[in-house]
Amino acid sequence: MKNNKVGIGFVGCGAISGIYLQNITNLFKEIEIVGVCDLIRERAENAVKNYNIPKLYNDMYELFADPDVDIVLNITRPYEHYEVTKAALNAGKHVYSEKPLAASLAEGKELVALAKKKGLMLGGAPDTYLGAGIQTCRKLIEEGKIGEPIGCAGFMICRGHETWHPDPEFYYKYGGGPMMDMGPYYLTAMINLIGSVESVSAMTKKTFAQRTITSQPHYGEIIDVDVNTYIAGNIRFESGAIGTLFTTFDVYKSENKWIEVYGSEGTLCVPDPNTFGGPVRLYRPGDDGFKDMPLEFDYADNSRALGLADMAKALQTGRDFRASYKQTYHVLEIMESFNKSGDERREIPIESHFDKTPIMVRGEVGVIAD
């Protein structure tokens, strides 16, 4: 650490990197970007130029060797997460990874064991649940506004990312699909609102063998689909609550969206878990309808890197951090078990356990720049 700032090294400068670069530079005062690297050097060069980044590395191993880098930010493609995170941990670096933790549970288990062995922090996205919207939802639930949670339902319905993403092929390969891509947002929100998952079951299918890219620069190219793209899952929480999560890349339009939590005394509409803000809507018996609830926490705008900043604060102070492997591994096990259930046509027990992380407190993390 230099000047009491935790040094961040970027591995990967693709589409998602822009918001990380922007927020680390302008929003979070505990962290600073030391340097970047990317397989496509031009991307890294653009990041260095646009954000006045001190160092441009030739490869990730040069980055890992830099003593100024405290945490490696792994924002490579999902099937690359394992290799990059493993190499960074072996080099003695803490790691914060984009979701998912890894492309398979076996890979995730190895990474967790390695981090524990070396005494290193391992965390990752999503951190949207730390934003004002879902934190407000959690507070309402813990205050008993809907009584005892008895169930929840989540819907992530779209036609696929080949209509807009500049390089969408990886969404349909190993480590991809709607559950592995978007499931982390929904499941992370659910387990932080309701608690640890005991078992899951699902029906799954690969609806289309091929997809045609309609975005630039690969317009007209054909993608062979290797993963399930229609996943209807059921969740049994340890608390006894029952959940449903439906994710698909196969549907043009739907009015079902986001997450609802059902309680013994009301219903809570949770905002899009891929965002940090609202709306948060609550219904209780006797109300005329759903009421918009005020957001009671910081970070309603796109605050990606909030989880990374919280991790850096933990590194500075010695406390635990919220978006740790305990969470990302539990989510990964749930997601893989959905596909396993669909293949084997049976309910799959979840072996890992997750304890809810501390609720956010305004000013407690101390990451808003003065």
User: Do 82 and 109 lie in a common domain?
Assistant: yes
Residue 338 included in any domain: no
Beta strand residue intervals within the chain, DSSP E: 6-11, 31-37, 55-56, 71-74, 94-97, 122-124, 149-157, 197-205, 210-212, 222-224, 230-237, 242-248, 258-263, 266-270, 280-283, 291-293, 348-349
pTM, two decimals, is: 0.96
Q: Is 50 exceeded by the pLDDT of residue 53?
A: yes
Q: Is 90 exceeded by the pLDDT of residue 257?
A: no
User: Do 180 and 62 lie in a common domain?
Assistant: no
User: Do 171 and 72 lie in a common domain?
Assistant: no
Four-point Cα dihedral 328, 158, 14, 133, nearest 10: -50
User: Do 141 and 286 lie in a common domain?
Assistant: yes
pLDDT category of residue 150 using cuts at 50, 70 and 90? very high
User: Do 32 and 156 lie in a common domain?
Assistant: no
pLDDT for 342 equals 97
User: Do 251 and 150 lie in a common domain?
Assistant: yes
Query: What CA–CA distance (Å, rounded) separates 128 from 135?
Result: 9
pLDDT category of residue 331 using cuts at 50, 70 and 90? very high
pLDDT category of residue 341 using cuts at 50, 70 and 90? very high
Number of domains present in the structure of the chain: 2
Exposed e or buried b per residue across 204-234, where buried means at least 16 C-beta atoms within 10 angstroms of its C-beta: beeeeeebebeeeebeeeebebebbbbbbbb
Percentage of the chain modeled with pLDDT above 70: 98
Residue 234 included in any domain: yes
Q: Which domain holds residue 173?
A: 128-293
Q: Is 90 exceeded by the pLDDT of residue 185?
A: yes
Residue 139 included in any domain: yes
pLDDT for 1 equals 73
Last residue of a domain, one of 81, 97, 124: 124
Last residue of a domain, one of 109, 124, 139: 124
Task: Tell me the CATH number at 288.
Answer: 3.30.360.10
Residue 322 included in any domain: no
pLDDT for 369 equals 39
- Give the pLDDT confidence of 283-297 residue by residue, as tens digits: 999 999 999 999 999
Amino acid at 175: G
pLDDT for 365 equals 64
User: Do 144 and 271 lie in a common domain?
Assistant: yes
User: Do 81 and 94 lie in a common domain?
Assistant: yes
Last residue of a domain, one of 124, 155, 190: 124
- Cβ atoms within 10 Å, residue 135: 23
pLDDT for 38 equals 98
Give mean pLDDT, residues 186-208. 98
Q: Is 50 exceeded by the pLDDT of residue 156?
A: yes
Q: Are 243 and 237 in contact (CB under 8 A)?
A: yes
Give mean pLDDT, residues 97-111. 98
User: Do 143 and 286 lie in a common domain?
Assistant: yes
User: Do 148 and 103 lie in a common domain?
Assistant: no
Task: Tell me the CATH number at 48.
Answer: 3.40.50.720
Residue 333 included in any domain: no
- Give the pLDDT confidence of 62-73 residue by residue, as tens digits: 999 999 999 999
User: Do 55 and 169 lie in a common domain?
Assistant: no
Q: Is 60 exceeded by the pLDDT of residue 121?
A: yes
Q: Is 80 exceeded by the pLDDT of residue 271?
A: yes
Residue 135 included in any domain: yes
pLDDT for 361 equals 82
Cα 17 to the chain's mean position, in Å? 14
Q: Is 70 exceeded by the pLDDT of residue 366?
A: no
Q: Is 90 exceeded by the pLDDT of residue 4?
A: no
**DSSP secondary structure, 19-54, as one string:** HHHHHHHHTBSSEEEEEEE-SSHHHHHHHHHHHT-S
pLDDT category of residue 370 using cuts at 50, 70 and 90? very low
pLDDT for 237 equals 98
User: Do 88 and 54 lie in a common domain?
Assistant: yes
Q: Is 90 exceeded by the pLDDT of residue 3?
A: no
Residue 174 included in any domain: yes
Cα 154 to the chain's mean position, in Å? 15
- Share the mean pLDDT of the chain: 96
Residue 325 included in any domain: no
Give mean pLDDT, residues 323-332. 98
